Amino acid sequence: MSEPSPLSPAAPPSGPVVLEVWCELQCPDCRAALDDVRALRARYGAELELRLRHFPLEKHKHSFAAAQAAEEAAEQGRLWPYVEAVLGRVEELDRRGDALLIEVAGELGLNAEEFDTALIDGRHILTVDADQAEGKAIGVTGTPTYVVGGERLDGGRSQEGLRARVEAVVDRLRAGREA
């Protein structure tokens, strides 16, 4: 007998609650959502596992490359610091593209040459494509979008109240695990 999906509300109680953050690294709304992500991380600590999911939007010409660069940062063990650094420089990414992605890697002490090579050889394209396809399949239309406990919470239209909605789902899931 197979177990329920970890995103299913009926999932067995074990491990941290998973929060998928569907994000695009050239998105000003995702930059604004960083405060919420930081607050959630601070509130729940190890009880909440953040998973970055890529949803590059066609209107942002460097978003696909930025998603690939984030995957390279994950391989080098610095995903979230890299994501936060790139999102903090959205306007500059719009102007400078790949050069900024490589520069940020160097600033964080990552192997910038590997970033350059990864962007050229496309080693992370399949991961980004798979995320984008899955996002479309579950109804993601904009960023940021969160999925927690089987619920999709769309922040692409408005950030207002979004963190509170995420907290309500996480608290409900945690309470169910403690019962």
Write the pLDDT tens digit of every residue in 34-92: 889 999 999 999 999 999 999 999 899 999 999 999 999 999 999 999 999 999 999 99
Average pLDDT value for the chain = 88
Which uninterrupted H or E stretch holds 167? helix 162-178
Strand order in the sheet with 48-54: 48-54, 17-23, 145-148, 151-154
Write the pLDDT tens digit of every residue in 19-39: 999 999 999 999 988 889 999
For residues 23 and 30, the answer to whether their CB atoms sit within 8 Å is yes
Residue 136 token pair: 């479309």
> pTM score, two decimals?
0.86
Asked if the peptide bond before residue 144 counts as cis, ω within 30 degrees of 0, the response is: yes
